[in-house]
Amino acid sequence: MILVTGGAGFIGANFVINWLAQSDEPVVNLDKLTYAGNLETLSSLRHDARHIFVQGDIGDQELVFSLLTKYQPRAIVNCAAESHVDRSIHSPEDFIQTNVVGTYRLLEAARAYWAQLEEAAKLAFRFLHVSTDEVYGSLSTVAPAFSENHRYEPSSPYSASKAASDHLVRAYHHTYGLPVLIINCSNNYGPYQFPEKFIPLMIVNALAGKSLPVYGDGRQVRDWLYVNDHCSAICCVLKAGRSGEVYNVGGRSEKLNIETAYIVCAVLDELRPRADGKSYKEQIALVKDRPGHDRRYAIDARKIERELGWKPVETFESGIQKTIQWYLSNPEWVSRVQSGVYREWGGTSFTAISQ
**Per residue of the chain (355 residues), what is the pLDDT tens digit?**
999 999 999 999 999 999 999 999 999 999 999 998 999 999 999 999 999 999 999 999 999 999 999 999 999 999 999 988 999 999 999 999 999 999 999 999 999 999 999 999 999 999 999 999 999 999 999 999 999 999 999 999 999 999 999 999 999 999 999 999 999 999 999 999 999 899 999 999 999 999 999 999 999 999 999 999 999 999 999 999 999 999 999 999 999 999 999 999 999 999 999 999 999 999 999 999 999 999 999 999 999 999 999 999 999 999 999 999 999 999 999 999 988 877 775 544 444 433 3
Could you give the residue numbers annotated as active site?
133-134, 158
**How far is the C-alpha of 343 from the C-alpha of 346, rounded, in Å?**
8
Confirm whether 210 is domain-assigned: no
- Side chain identity, residue 210: K
In this predicted structure, what is the pLDDT of residue 354? 35
**How far is the C-alpha of 70 from the C-alpha of 78, rounded, in Å?**
18
In this predicted structure, what is the pLDDT of residue 345? 53
Neighbours of 65 (CB within 10 A): 18
CB 95 within 8 A of CB 82: yes
**Phi, psi angle pair for 63, to nearest 5°:** -60, -50
Strand partners for 77: 4, 128
Q: Where are the beta strands (DSSP E) in 42-145?
A: 51-55, 75-78, 126-132
Handedness of CA 280, 285, 291, 294 (dihedral sign): positive
**What does the CA dihedral 262, 264, 265, 269 come to, rounded to 10 degrees?**
140
Confirm whether 306 is domain-assigned: yes
Q: In the 8-state DSSP scheme, what is residue 288?
A: P
Characterize 254-287 residue by residue with b for buried, 16 or more Cβ atoms within 10 angstroms of its Cβ, and e for exposed. bbbbbebbbbbbebbbeeeebeeeebbeebbeee
Determine the 3-state secondary structure of 296 from DSSP. Answer: strand
- Side chain identity, residue 165: S
Confirm whether 39 is domain-assigned: yes
Range of 173's domain?
2-190+226-253+298-315+342-354
Q: How buried is residue 212: exposed, middle or buried, by Cβ count under 10 Å (0-12/13-18/19+)?
A: buried
Parallel/antiparallel/unpaired status of strands 254-256 and 221-226: antiparallel
In this predicted structure, what is the pLDDT of residue 340? 84
Confirm whether 142 is domain-assigned: yes
Confirm whether 109 is domain-assigned: yes
Confirm whether 215 is domain-assigned: no
Confirm whether 230 is domain-assigned: yes
Question: Number of H helices and number of E strands within the chain?
Answer: 13, 13
> Domain count of the chain?
1
CB 206 within 8 A of CB 212: yes
Confirm whether 201 is domain-assigned: no
Determine the 3-state secondary structure of 352 from DSSP. Answer: strand
Q: What is the CATH number of the domain that holds 92?
A: 3.40.50.720
CB 226 within 8 A of CB 189: yes
In this predicted structure, what is the pLDDT of residue 347? 44
